[in-house]
Structure 1
Amino acid sequence: MSEGKKHEVAVILINYNSGAYTKSCIESILVHTSKTLDFQIVVIDNASEDSDYQALKSYCGQQDFANLKLIRNDINVGFGGGNMLGVHYTNANYLAFINNDSFFTTDCLSIILNAMKSDPKFGICGPLAHNEHGKLLPTLDHFASPVKEIFGRNFLETINPVVYPKRKKLYTAPKRAQFISGSFMIVAAADFNAVGGFDTNIFLYYEETDLCKRLAKIDKFAYLIPDAKFIHYHGISTPKSTDIKIELKISLLYVIRKHYGFLAYKFMVVYLSVRYFFSSIFKPKYWKLFYILLLGAPLSKSLKTRQRIKA
């Protein structure tokens, strides 16, 4: 972490070829955050195209906000890796990991920090999300597990609604969940450091599941804070593709092996292989995914291994 004055909260944003959204996110933070809250913003550009980076650099240079930093990364290290680099440039009591396609509609930082300070069990918290059309987006969720993958969320929410609260419900009071969406998470820096931060073996997806699972082991739990609200323009930096689908399964199986063991991992590899074999018959685009699953979906097939350092 950087030296110097310690802020109350540091906001970390990852930019990847989506500078217009990053600018909008920064502006919404500056407009909606209380002037009495001491915070900083660190933007990590994850090796975007030069035109996108230069436009963002120009914008940041014009802002009348001394605590704004833009750091250029020469290689795309993914969500967890980018945020871990961002943490290096922070000096704050709390860390806010926020997707750059987010737009504040309330003073999310102050509201969530006040809630977290009121109860030590509030280990990692996020606000209520809507999309740009006003539709409620799930902010809380259930840990990745073999049972969840096979039977689905609705089954879990039906058999045990206390442990698995409904995702698509409008809550009006803080609600504990197994994990909260990675689009917006605030955690005490001391707790984040205590569990080792993000697992940078994961390039994309399931980073929040893994982090929240480790935080729960030290009795720091995930909570939705519905008084804080924001808009999420979902999936701007990661458009849907077969490669992204493969990355999703690689991360899923890595997290299951890490937290549930080898047998659970092997079971899920077989289950997903059979499932996508039949899917591939009707959707040939899934043959590549089926092949990766036959190999066990190793990290060596992750998009992370394809990244190249930009001169």
Structure 2
Amino acid sequence: MFDIAIILINYNSSELSIDCIKSIYEKTSSKINFQVIITDNCSEKDDYENIKSFCDNSNLPNLKLLKNSVNAGFGCGNMYGFKHSNAKYLAFVNNDTLFLNDCLALLKNELDSNQSIGIAGAQAFKEDHEFLISLDHFASPTREIFGRSFLELINPKKYPKRKKKYNSPVKVNFVPGSFMFVRSDDFVKAGGFDERIFLYYEETDLCLRLAKIKKFAYLIPAAEFIHFHGASTEKSLAIKKELKISLLYIMKKHYGNFGYQTVRWFLLLKYGLSSLFKAKNRPLFSLIWRGAPMSESLQYKQK
């Protein structure tokens, strides 16, 4: 069994994946026994061949490339990688990242010394090393209607400031999906990633379920990495729709029909008014009016 399995997804971004993998091997201590598993989510032929060539010729130890027959999304892609792993700890890492230090050893040490930590995240920075927010508050009806600043104002202990740079570990609601470090046993006990979610809110859902078994999320600021934020996901109307589909799915799953309808009607009001002046918001309004059903997710629209 390995100490850590690092799992990442490649989707038409092999150069990012290759740079990420190189940084993992470069920065990780030789004392850590780890494996790297890449799930290719049905990339274009040239992109897949590029990363396959790298894996075949890199001579890096314990590097495994898997290929999905469809674009399975974030949760399914990571679960596919997880099912091929054999390690005490799991590190789910976006391929648009670069390690700045020995993140894995730092995170492992924290979880080894504190059993209440269920999942840990590292501190992210932009390409120019500018600070990036690396914690967040659970998606909830209150957050969606009143905003994050309101939560931080009324209960700063429960909702630590997102825009603050921390110097020591801090308990948070959840850490971003760009870098998540978790015990394999806790991941399994919580149920892993919800494979119905194609994209967005997977980390919220996982951390909510971990919290229910008394395993909490922490930001470990000593571990540092660069995140080329959004580089691996092209922005489009389809992606914006996916965001709303996943959000309302999470509302119903964790806050019941009342929470779902509360957020749905708030979004209908928001996008209904904005649609009067911005035609680009009308498809979002229409989607939410129909209830943003999972059947309209990109997961079910692939050829």
Bin for the TM-score computed over the shorter chain: over 0.9
Partner of 1:54: 49
User: Which of 27, 30, 33 is the matching residue for 1:32?
Assistant: 27
Query: Alignment length, in residue pairs?
Result: 303
Q: Percent identity?
A: 53
Establish whether residue 255 from structure 1 lines up as the match of residue 241 from structure 2: no
**Gaps (5+ residues) in structure 1?**
1-5
Query: Aligned with 2:195: secondary structure?
Result: coil
Partner of 2:286: 291
Query: Aligned with 1:165: secondary structure?
Result: coil
TM-score normalised by length of structure 2: 0.99
Deviation at 1:66, TM superposition (A): 2.5
Moved more, 15-24 or 131-140: 131-140
Query: Aligned with 1:83: secondary structure?
Result: helix
Establish whether residue 10 from structure 1 lines up as the match of residue 5 from structure 2: yes
User: Which of 286, 291, 307 is the matching residue for 2:302?
Assistant: 307
Stretches of 4+ aligned residues off by more than 4 angstroms? none
1:202-239 per-residue CA deviation (whole Å, 9 max, x = no partner) reads: 00000000000000111110000011000000112212
Partner of 1:159: 154
Query: Aligned with 1:270: secondary structure?
Result: helix
1:9-35 per-residue CA deviation (whole Å, 9 max, x = no partner) reads: 000010011000000000000000001
> Root-mean-square deviation (CA), in Å?
0.7
Distance of 2:238 and 2:121 partners within structure 1: 29
Distance of 1:204 and 1:136 partners within structure 2: 25
Distance of 1:67 and 1:83 partners within structure 2: 17
Amino acid at match of 2:271: Y
Establish whether residue 217 from structure 1 lines up as the match of residue 212 from structure 2: yes
Distance of 2:152 and 2:264 partners within structure 1: 25
Distance of 2:241 and 2:133 partners within structure 1: 23
Query: Aligned with 1:261: secondary structure?
Result: helix
The 8 Å contact of residues 8 and 37 in structure 1, kept in 2 or not, is answered as yes
Distance of 1:187 and 1:134 partners within structure 2: 25
Residues 229-240 of structure 1 mapped to structure 2, 5 A cutoff:
229-240=224-235
Amino acid at match of 1:217: K
TM-score normalised by length of structure 1: 0.96
Query: Aligned with 1:86: secondary structure?
Result: helix
Amino acid at match of 1:233: F
Amino acid at match of 1:222: A
Deviation at 1:135, TM superposition (A): 1.7
Amino acid at match of 2:205: D
Deviation at 1:62, TM superposition (A): 1.2
Distance of 2:114 and 2:190 partners within structure 1: 20
Deviation at 1:159, TM superposition (A): 1.0
